[in-house]
């Protein structure tokens, strides 16, 4: 082993040991709860807990809402953050100031964010007062079918800045000479965007896709602070189900739900990496 490689290997080993001890090993050992009826009797029931989940109305409701939320919010977040990154990257002045404005939501505590949005969308909040000027009735946003829209809006507001920063970094890595050559050839903006910008931004796009997918699960914190354990059915997501199972000490259902969610996340990330590798091979060929 080379001497200059020892320190990185030691540091990585310490990190891996901490990750294994606090996350990996507990996750693996928790499978025992998913295969037994309860922590007291510990009677082996096989995959019964996993099968029962797909007959549980609350789990299915959370699964449906989570899927709807992600299908809408993830692509929308990526498109808006890319548009903002392109706009800021074109600026010659105040570029850093505009970037900071979009990054501010990342440093605001979840409790403060929840307090702000709760007052904004409450029955007597600013949004309803504004709508009342047009003769519209007040809407209890967090206790109605419009709750999903509010959840998507909060997610976009909080996470667009992070993705914007990643896209700006990717845009700055594209050589300016490519655009100059395209201008000499008389290429229009659409050709430059599709054949240069998007093409060389693909690694960043895949990274943003994974990060947005993972961050979409974190919106639960704000919604939970605002609505509590049992929100309106339009806001009930998988994290609500798992949190309620934990509070009721129903570890069998909790572990079963966690493993199913983990399998979905791992499968999605694996498919993204596979698509990225295939695209990289096509570009090299």
Per-residue model confidence (pLDDT) at position 285: 59
Residue 266 lies in a domain: yes
- The pLDDT confidence band at residue 46, using thresholds 50, 70 and 90, is confident
Residue 13 lies in a domain: no
Residue 164 lies in a domain: yes
Residue 274 lies in a domain: yes
Per-residue model confidence (pLDDT) at position 188: 84
Residues 118 and 227: their CA atoms lie apart, in Å, by: 9
- The pLDDT confidence band at residue 146, using thresholds 50, 70 and 90, is confident
In CATH, what number is assigned to the domain containing residue 92?
A: 1.10.3720.10
Q: What does the pLDDT average to over 50-69?
A: 91
Residue 179 lies in a domain: yes
Q: What does the pLDDT average to over 111-139?
A: 85
Percentage of the chain exceeding pLDDT 70: 97
Per-residue model confidence (pLDDT) at position 15: 86
What b/e readout covers 59-83, taking b as 16+ CB neighbours within 10 angstroms? bebbbebbeebbebbbeebbeebbe
Residue 86 lies in a domain: yes
In this predicted structure, the answer to whether residue 1 has a pLDDT above a threshold of 60 is no
Q: Give pLDDT tens digits for 169-202.
A: 999 888 888 888 888 888 888 888 888 888 888 8
Per-residue model confidence (pLDDT) at position 4: 66
Q: What DSSP line would sit under the chain, residue for residue?
A: --HHHHHHHHHHHHHHHHHIIIIIHHHHHTHHHHTBS-TTT--B-TTHHHHHHTT-HHHHHHHHHHHHHHHHHHHHHHHHHHHHHHHHHH-SSSHHHHHHHHHGGGGS-HHHHHHHHHHHHSTTSHHHHHHHTTTPPP--GGGSTTHHHHHHHHHHHHHHHHHHHHHHHHHHTS-HHHHHHHHHTT--HHHHIIIIIHHHTHHHHHHHHHHHHHHGGGGHHHHHHHH-SS--TTT--HHHHHHHHHHTT-HHHHHHHHHHHHHHHHHHHHHHHHHHHHHHHHHH-
Residue 153 lies in a domain: yes
Q: Give pLDDT tens digits for 201-244.
A: 888 998 999 999 988 888 888 888 888 888 888 889 888 899 88
Residue 208 lies in domain:
56-284
Average pLDDT over all residues of the chain: 86
Per the structure, the count of domains in the chain is: 1
In this predicted structure, the answer to whether residue 72 has a pLDDT above a threshold of 90 is yes
Residue 172 lies in a domain: yes
What b/e readout covers 28-57, taking b as 16+ CB neighbours within 10 angstroms? eeeeebbbbeeeeeeeebeeebbeebeeee
In this predicted structure, the answer to whether residue 135 has a pLDDT above a threshold of 70 is yes
- The pLDDT confidence band at residue 82, using thresholds 50, 70 and 90, is very high
Q: What does the pLDDT average to over 52-57?
A: 90
Q: What does the pLDDT average to over 98-108?
A: 87
What is the chain's length?
285
């Amino acid at each position: 082993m080379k001497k200059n490689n020892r320190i990185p290997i030691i540091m990585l080993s310490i990190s891996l040991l901490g990750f294994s001890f606090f996350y990996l090993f507990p996750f693996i050992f928790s499978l025992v709860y998913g295969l037994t009826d309860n922590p007291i009797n510990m009677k082996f029931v096989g995959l019964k807990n996993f099968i029962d989940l797909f007959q549980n109305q609350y789990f299915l409701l959370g699964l449906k809402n989570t899927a709807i939320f992600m299908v809408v919010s993830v692509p929308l977040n990526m498109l808006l953050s890319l548009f903002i990154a392109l706009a800021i990257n074109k600026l010659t002045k105040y570029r850093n100031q505009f970037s900071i404005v979009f990054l501010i939501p990342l440093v605001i505590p979840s409790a403060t964010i929840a307090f702000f949005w709760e007052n904004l969308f409450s029955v007597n909040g600013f949004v309803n007062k504004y709508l009342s000027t047009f003769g519209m009735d007040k809407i209890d946003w967090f206790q109605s079918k419009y709750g999903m829209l509010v959840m998507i809006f909060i997610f976009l507001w909080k996470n667009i800045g992070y993705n914007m920063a990643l896209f700006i970094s990717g845009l700055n890595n594209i050589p300016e000479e490519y655009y100059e050559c395209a201008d000499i050839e008389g290429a229009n903006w659409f050709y430059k965007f599709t054949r240069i910008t998007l093409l060389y931004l693909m690694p960043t796009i895949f990274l943003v896709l994974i990060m947005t997918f993972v961050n979409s699960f974190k919106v639960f914190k704000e919604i939970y602070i605002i609505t509590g354990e049992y929100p309106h059915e339009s806001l009930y997501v998988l994290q609500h189900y798992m949190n309620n199972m934990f509070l009721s000490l129903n570890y069998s259902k909790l572990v079963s739900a966690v493993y199913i969610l983990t399998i979905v996340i791992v499968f999605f990330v694996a498919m993204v990496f596979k698509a990225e590798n295939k695209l990289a091979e096509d570009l090299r060929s």
